[in-house]
Chains A and B, each alone.
Chain A
Amino acid sequence: MAKRGGSPLQKREAATIASKLNAVVAVGGSHDIAKVYWKGYLVTQFGIRRGKKSRHGHIPHALFLSEFKTMALANCTMTTDEYFAELQKKNKLPAIVS
């Protein structure tokens, strides 16, 4: 039985996304955790595995995006502002009264 090749998202893409979203990376024993903040609120997080070639198919779910859009975020065709606008549309950002 032929199997799919797994997620195209690897550690490099995970690190790129973390950096692009200004995530705070908490270093752990088995893996790191990228904490994504918006206006001081922790709005989401994702795990970054050890190993250059390690697959990160869990990231789209954590970012509330499709795999295609997650790759767009990693490849810079989606901006940080566009990402947070997506989160806003999906009600994943806190309502802040100014």
Chain B
Amino acid sequence: MSYLISQSTSTPFFSGAETSIYSFEHKSFWGNEYNLFEEATQQKNDKQTSVTIISLGFGKRVLLKPMSLRIENVGDDEFIASFPEAGIEMSGDSATEAIQLLKSHLVALFDIYRTESKLGPEPQKQLKILEGYIGEERR
């Protein structure tokens, strides 16, 4: 089942296949099928866009509230997705891949930070922010 909450318009940034990040039943790079439920909330220019996500799609971790991500096209085959509030970034060959890798990275960091006994100032700040967004799936 998929949900469409925002019909994207074709832009130089999100043209063609890239428009598909907004909503669809997505077959991930890792072979698992899950729904993306995302909405482009702001378009700054043709190289940078903000996207709000409401699901992570990884394991037992869930988003507790919508998370605003920024996606920047930094070259022909490179997009950087970032979670500016925590200062965490990840690159991908496409906007879709960058978002998926960032989601995966955020979940992994959340788990890593929670198991580390000694965190430096930046990871401490990032963990505090991530704890406001990521939680356990309720059964």
Contact = CB atoms under 8 A, between A and B. Distances in A.
Interface of A: 1, 3-7, 26, 28-31, 33, 35, 38, 40-45, 47, 49, 54-58, 61-62, 64, 91-94
Interface residues of B, number: 33
B104 A28 contact: yes
A4 B122 CA distance: 30
A4 B76 CA distance: 6
20 contacts: A3-B75, A3-B76, A5-B75, A6-B76, A30-B29, A31-B90, A33-B105, A33-B112, A41-B118, A42-B113, A43-B121, A45-B109, A45-B123, A47-B105, A57-B74, A57-B78, A58-B82, A58-B89, A92-B121, A93-B120
A90 to B, nearest CB: 9
Interface of B: 12, 29-30, 73-78, 80, 82, 87-93, 100-101, 104-105, 108-109, 112-113, 116, 118-123
B80 A54 contact: no
Given A45-B109, A57-B78, A58-B91, 14 more contacts: A3-B73, A5-B75, A5-B76, A6-B74, A7-B78, A30-B100, A33-B109, A42-B116, A47-B105, A55-B75, A55-B77, A91-B121, A92-B121, A94-B120
